[in-house]
Structure formats: structure tokens, C-alpha cells
Amino acid sequence: MRLHDTVLGALLVVLAAAFFGYTFTFPDMPGQKYGPSLFPRLIALGIAACGIVIAIRGWRSGLPWISISSPLRRLQGWLALLAMPLAVVFYLLVAERLGFLPTAALIVGGLCFWNGVRWWWAALTGVVVAGLVQWFFGTLMRVPLPRGWFMQLIAGG
């Protein structure tokens, strides 16, 4: 998904302006000419300059406002692309309540199934991988993976 350079440049200038504007909320350093706002302002000016150069150079390119690569011209392409970010969002939303093991198993199993793996093989992969990761990170490395009601049910509290 490629934006037309002029659109990209304009977006960058807007981003740079917001970045620059926000620095006015920073205090000055007493007795110093240079404070916390100096670097962000220089960076914002630089980003804006790059944005302008990209916008001007792209003006005559004749490309469409957004060029979509061929896999993304079909709905399946978008679903394939979004499946993984959505899985991460799913994890963020439910892992704390549901617990790591079932959430991870659902994500891995679900994505495998989505990728065309047979359902029983996908389910088995999900459970085994989630179990191994829980054992390695949760038990060996002592990462406080979310327990959720699943572990409470198993461990009884």
C-alpha cells in the first residue's frame, strides 16, 4: 500500500507541525539558551523539509493517490494481512482475564487454521506451542504471564 508522494509529503508536514507545536508546552531551562524543546524543534523542521522535498518530487509522478499491491486488491489479501495484528489485539483484550495458555492456544491454533492447516492439526499445534511457551517463559524464565481464570481453575487460586 503505497501513498502518492505528495500525499505522503503533506502528511509528514502535518506530523512535523504537530510535533513542533507540542514543544511549546516544554519549559525553558533557567539560565540556558537551549532547553528540552530545541532538539524536537530541529527534528520537526527536518521532517517537514523532507516532506516538502518528497511532495514536490512526487508531484509529476502520475501515480494514483494510493497504489495497492496485487495481493491487497482482493478481500482475502486484506484478511491475511490483518489476521496477525487482530490476533495481537485479541491477546491484549482477553489474555489478562482468560489467562495466557488458552489465549495463546487460540491465537496459534486459529491462525494456523486460517492459513489452511487442517483443524485438528491446527488445534494440536496451538495447544502444544502454547504449553511449551508457558513452560519455557512462564516456568523456566519466570515471566509473569497472565494467569487468568484458566490457571486459577487449574491451580485452584
- The residues of the shown chain that bind other proteins, judged by CB under 8 A, are 1-3, 8, 12, 19, 22-23, 26-27, 29, 32-36, 38-40, 43-44, 46-47, 50-51, 53-54, 57, 69, 71-72, 77, 80-81, 83-85, 87-89, 91-92, 95-96, 104, 107-108, 111-112, 115-117, 125, 129-130, 133, 137, 141-145
Quick one: which of 46, 72, 53 has its CA closest to 9? Answer: 53
In terms of CB distance, is 57 or 156 closer to other proteins? Answer: 57
Cell (9 digits) for 129: 506451542
Can you tell me the distance from the alpha carbon of 125 to that of 123, in angstroms, rounded to the nearest whole number? 5
In terms of CB distance, is 10 or 83 closer to other proteins? Answer: 83
CB of 157 to other proteins, least distance (A): 21
In terms of CB distance, is 98 or 130 closer to other proteins? Answer: 130
Q: With the C-alpha atoms ordered 148, 139, 133, 143, is the resulting torsion angle positive or negative? A: positive
35 Cβ contact list (under 8 Å, min separation 6): 26, 27, 28, 29
